[in-house]
Amino acid sequence: MLKAILADDEDIVRNAMVRWIPWKELGLKLVGTAADGEEALSMITAEQPDIVITDIRMPKLDGLDLIKRTKNKLKNTRFIILSGFGEFEYAQKAMSYGVKHYMLKPALKEDLIQTLKEVIAEIEGERNALLNSIAVNGERYGFFLQRSMLMEVLLDSSSIPEIIERSNRITPFDADETLTMLTVQALEPSRFVPQLLSVIGKEGIRVPIYPVSIGGKVYFVLDISALSVLENMKEAIEERGGVLVGVNRGKPAEIVSYFVKENSNVAAVSIYDEDGNEEKIRILPSFRSADDEIVTRYRAVLSGASDPSLMDDAEAILRSKDLDEAEALFIRMAIKSKDYEILFKELGNVRTMEELIDLARAFAEHKMPGSREAFPVDIVRRYIAENFSNPDISLKWISENVVYMNPEYLSRLFQKEMGQRFTDYLNTTRVDEARKLMSAYHQSTVGEIAEKVGYSNPGYFFHIFRRYTGMTPGEYMDKVRKSHGE
């Protein structure tokens, strides 16, 4: 279930929305309401919501500052802006922060619910696209994600809530759902796990977390709610020579915490993929303190600090270890990166020490790795969404300054991935945004709208708008005004 926060300094408005928005029906959990911007920011930091509905004008911290500060920490949180008539400049500024949904106050119940449905669809669409990307780029990515998370939580148990929360978008479980962990004693885990996974598959039981074994104990985290299914699993375990020694139910963070509590000082763990293939990983508890300094320095650089000698020192330390050890250390160094999804996806493709060093350097220099085909296009789309109002935006500039890739190759890749040219995608985005502005601020002139969406030449905007909508901007504005009874 997605989490939402509502911020508005008007008690009547805030309480009304709490009552008449069907939160559960929409698949939303309202985790907090705030009467000012500072209170909202505190809630957002604590709850890390998927959606925030906020007034643009609030005491202590206005909506724009709230968005800006949130985006610096939680780039995936979506905002729905509520603005008063005549606050066009505020809406435009919000757009520069990547906000795409804004409504005039007082917002109609039906309109706000529809907007929420659109935002929810966008979030779910992105998650589905990411899962499809994972499938396209190989099953090893999802496996490596859990492998990396496993190393991190066993090295630092305090990181469990943060890791579960931040990785929720790229894992096949929801942070709020209840899962069941079965602890099984087995003489030969490497033989037992594939056999039981076969039974689990035939039963149609979901396995949101890959099985893990330590010594003679195997941990299966499954989506089981019915007692009858649990009884079937117990019989299947016993038939294959295992003994069910523990059943724990809880949210993912609770399950992981219990697992770590039982295995806080282990040096080696085996993790099994969906076919039961085993991979042994070393946890190396000595890393908890030995490399703290480089971890602290690297994280500071990720947050914007300057440290000219960092990468020389980091490279020397990484090269002093074998690849598994170096990967474990790098995960500690970079786990707080804003580009969490890309971090794990890139780690899943690392095969040599040189590739790991290159990845560490790219993140330290705040350069998004562009070596995997799926990500440059994602980066371009995100850049357009956040900067479409810039009239000088171009594929050449983005390729050379954002994704660091040959412009011609990026152009071909973009068309292949999106099914349309970069220019068409940019124009479509701008026209869509123009239509939203016309609907919300229908008293504005065509020239004002054109400038707000990145067209310095109103004549060119006229031409583009008609090409993509079949109407001139004036005709569209007249249609909007009529719909408002003007």
pLDDT tens across the length of the chain (486 residues): 788 999 988 888 888 889 889 998 898 989 999 999 899 998 888 788 889 998 888 888 888 888 888 876 676 788 888 876 555 566 666 666 667 777 777 667 788 888 899 888 888 777 666 555 555 444 556 677 777 788 778 877 777 877 776 666 566 677 778 899 999 999 999 999 999 999 998 888 888 889 999 988 999 999 887 778 888 899 999 999 999 999 999 988 899 999 988 887 787 899 998 888 888 887 765 455 567 889 889 988 877 678 889 999 999 999 988 887 788 788 878 876 656 666 766 777 777 898 899 889 888 876 655 434 345 777 788 889 888 988 888 988 887 777 656 677 678 778 877 888 999 999 999 999 998 888 776 667 888 889 889 998 888 999 999 998 899 988 888 887 777 665
Determine the pLDDT at residue 367: 64
| pLDDT of 431 | 93
Q: State residue 429's pLDDT score.
A: 93
- pLDDT value of residue 193: 94
Provide φ and ψ at 427, rounded to 5°: -65, -40
Determine phi and psi for 88, rounding to 5 degrees: -60, -45
Question: Cβ(222)–Cβ(182) under 8 Å?
Answer: yes
Alpha helices in 441-472 (DSSP H): 446-452, 458-469
> What pLDDT score does 9 carry?
86
pLDDT at site 233: 92
Burial class, 165, CB count within 10 angstroms (exposed 0-12 / middle 13-18 / buried 19+): middle
pLDDT for 71 equals 74
pLDDT at 476: 87
pLDDT on residue 458: 86
Is residue 346 within 8 A of residue 359, CB to CB? The reply is yes
Q: In sequence order, what are the residues at sequence separation of 6 or more whose Cβ sits closer than 8 angstroms to the Cβ of residue 214?
A: 263, 266, 268, 269, 270
Distance of alpha carbon 321 from alpha carbon 316, whole angstroms? 9
Strand-strand pairing, 217-222 and 179-185: antiparallel
Per-residue confidence (pLDDT) for residue 5, from 0 to 100: 93
Tokens representing residue 250 in the block = 């809880």
What pLDDT, on the 0 to 100 scale, is given for residue 56?
80
User: Which pLDDT does position 375 carry in this prediction?
Assistant: 56
What pLDDT is recorded for position 196?
94
**Chain centroid offset of residue 99 CA:** 16
8 Å CB contact between 241 and 192:
yes
Q: What digits encode the pLDDT tens for the residues 196-234? A: 999 998 888 888 889 999 988 999 999 887 778 888 899
Widest pairwise Cα distance in the chain: 79
Spatial neighbors of 279 by CB under 8 A, at least 6 apart, are 143, 147, 270, 271, 272, 273
Report d(CA 167, CA 150) in Å as an integer.
Answer: 12
Secondary structure class of 79 (helix, strand, coil): strand
pLDDT at 312: 92
Q: Which of 341, 387, 397 is nearest to 97 (CA)?
A: 387
Supply the pLDDT for residue 219.
Answer: 95
Q: Which residues pair with 29 in a beta bridge?
A: 3
